[in-house]
Structure 1
Amino acid sequence: MIRLSNVSHSYGVEQVVDDVSLDVEPGEVVAVIGPSGVGKTTLLRTMALFLEPDAGTVALDGDAVWDAAEDERLALRRRIGMVFQEASLFDASVARNVEYGLRVRQDWRERIREQLRSLAGSTNPAAAVEDALEVVGLADKLDQQARSLSGGEAQRVSFARALAYEPSYLLLDEPTSDLDPRNTGLIEEAVFEARDRGIGVVVATHDMHQAERVADRVGVLLGDGFTEVGPTERIFDDPSDERTRKFISGELVY
């Protein structure tokens, strides 16, 4: 699992994440909900190992990440995929964009070969690219220039790029905030597919309805950390913390 224990992070004098703990298991979807500015993105970037916390520990399957040597830390980081709020694609074909994650993980060739065999009975990287695009409904766009896509299609390509190398964990930062209902639905279906493949998924979102639809567990992140983390149905129907209830009902305004 990914385990954050008492993690804090600040930018200068501004404390953004304060004493936060969270476990994410393989094959589950965890939604992190909360208003803008409470540290959802910083939390994801810490889980993605882009940011070293000021305090606390981050462990991946029991290995304390920031205690590891640099090459070991890089290997751990490469087990995690992240999709940002805005798609950032190269000036190349859709296929070339999606296979990027495979190309930069050359030291993982044998692991990638094993994954490709399980996906398509082939060691050809194209099999993983086609499979990932099929998941997001873009198999027919393989040779199209990525920058000619619509915004929703571009975001789905970003998702496919992260999915293609079968990460252990996939982190999504407001992945559908600017998308129409159709593209939103396709990405949510891709989240379920990732979960079914045993990938642990974390979705940071301010859309509580989306959290209800996709998550197995929900964490409510307010200005002083998580008020609570628990099964989705309980969080929305019978929260144990009064701040959670007020936030979900709209009584607590940030």
Structure 2
Amino acid sequence: MTLEATDVCYGYDDEAVLEEVSLSVNRGEVLAIIGPSGVGKSTLLRLLALFDSPDRGRVTYDRNEVWTAPERQRLEYRRKIGMVFQEPSLFDASVRRNVTYGLRVRQSWRDRLRHEVASLVGTQNGTGDAIDALETVGLREKATQDAASLSGGEAQRVAFARALAYDPDILLLDEPTSDLDPRNTAGIEDAVYRARNRGIGVAIATHDMHQAERIADRVAVLLGNDVIEVGDTERVFEDPADERTQKFIDGELIY
């Protein structure tokens, strides 16, 4: 299962942000998208999340072109993709209710939500999707707590759990640890590993190159409106094919 952008172009107010960008995200891998702030990482994730359509180029899901598909089919593709933004937006409700939001708006939400609630109160064996997701991010004990009482790092982990709860094929993360302390950063990174081990494809946009080295199977380097290099993490950092990549890693390219 692959989510892929091919020769994608996108801009704002006649200013190009992305020019002929090609990139794929595969199930069961972690892809880090690195590059300086303002280079278009968030825009690329929004295109992959199917929030925005490209000005030119193609976005395909499992080899099926998205934007020429019927609207109902596009909705099904979108439901298979989760996204976590840099700033978590939680409802004024319990952690459990925030995490089950995705279940409540999907086709099978009634059965899955009943299963999840029953597991919370101990009326059946097994665990529900929301509790599994909270377990993944290390916050199972926070299920009944008011989301407004969480720390910033805990709120980000709840947002991650909410995206995991409906079992997406692909999960897109936009700088999810940029404002977090080391403990919560480690919690998010551990959740990324667990998601990958469940067969989910994870793409994380980050300006933290050390983080990319720690958690990614592949790395894409976004510079100058384009992905200039994609490859195995060790190869990109140790022996990049493009000299601009080496200069960026060494801090010689200033944007």
TM-score after normalising by structure 2? 0.93
Matched length: 247
In the other structure, the counterpart of 2:89 is: 88
What per-residue deviation string (whole Å, max 9, x for no partner) do you get for residues 187-231 of structure 1? 000000000000000000000000001100000000130110000
What per-residue deviation string (whole Å, max 9, x for no partner) do you get for residues 29-65 of structure 1? 0000000111000000000000000000000001100
From the superposition, tell whether residues 21 and 124 of structure 1 become closer, same or farther in structure 2 (CA, over 3 Å). Answer: farther
In the other structure, the counterpart of 2:51 is: 50
Q: Any conservation in 2 of the 1:112–1:165 contact (CA below 8 Å)? A: no
Letter in 1 for 2:179: D
Counterpart-to-counterpart distance in 2, 1:139 and 1:37: 35
5+ long unaligned stretches in structure 1: 117-121
In the other structure, the counterpart of 2:167 is: 166
From the superposition, tell whether residues 50 and 27 of structure 1 become closer, same or farther in structure 2 (CA, over 3 Å). Answer: same
Q: Any conservation in 2 of the 1:153–1:183 contact (CA below 8 Å)? A: yes
Alignment of 1:44-193 (within 5 A): 44-105=45-106, 107-108=107-108, 127-193=128-194
Q: Any conservation in 2 of the 1:99–1:125 contact (CA below 8 Å)? A: no
3-state SS, counterpart of residue 28 of structure 2: coil
In the other structure, the counterpart of 2:237 is: 236
What per-residue deviation string (whole Å, max 9, x for no partner) do you get for residues 72-119 of structure 1? 1011101000000001000000000000011111x2459969x98xxx
What per-residue deviation string (whole Å, max 9, x for no partner) do you get for residues 164-194 of structure 1? 1110000000000000000000000000000
What per-residue deviation string (whole Å, max 9, x for no partner) do you get for residues 119-138 of structure 1? xxx99997111111111111
From the superposition, tell whether residues 112 and 2 of structure 1 become closer, same or farther in structure 2 (CA, over 3 Å). Answer: farther
Structure 1 residue 24, shift from structure 2 partner: 1.3
Alignment of 1:238-253 (within 5 A): 238-253=239-254
Q: Which runs of 4+ in 1 moved over 2 A?
A: 108-113, 122-126
In the other structure, the counterpart of 1:2 is: 3
In the other structure, the counterpart of 1:119 is: none
Letter in 1 for 2:178: S
3-state SS, counterpart of residue 203 of structure 2: strand
Q: Any conservation in 1 of the 2:40–2:225 contact (CA below 8 Å)? A: no
From the superposition, tell whether residues 124 and 63 of structure 1 become closer, same or farther in structure 2 (CA, over 3 Å). Answer: farther
3-state SS, counterpart of residue 67 of structure 2: helix
Q: Any conservation in 2 of the 1:102–1:125 contact (CA below 8 Å)? A: no
3-state SS, counterpart of residue 252 of structure 2: coil
Structure 1 residue 71, shift from structure 2 partner: 1.0
Letter in 2 for 1:213: R
Q: Any conservation in 1 of the 2:112–2:129 contact (CA below 8 Å)? A: no
From the superposition, tell whether residues 124 and 177 of structure 1 become closer, same or farther in structure 2 (CA, over 3 Å). Answer: farther
Structure 1 residue 155, shift from structure 2 partner: 0.2
In the other structure, the counterpart of 1:222 is: 223
Letter in 2 for 1:232: T
Letter in 2 for 1:197: R
Q: Any conservation in 1 of the 2:112–2:128 contact (CA below 8 Å)? A: no
Counterpart-to-counterpart distance in 2, 1:86 and 1:48: 16
From the superposition, tell whether residues 206 and 111 of structure 1 become closer, same or farther in structure 2 (CA, over 3 Å). Answer: farther
5+ long unaligned stretches in structure 2: 117-122
Q: Any conservation in 2 of the 1:101–1:161 contact (CA below 8 Å)? A: yes
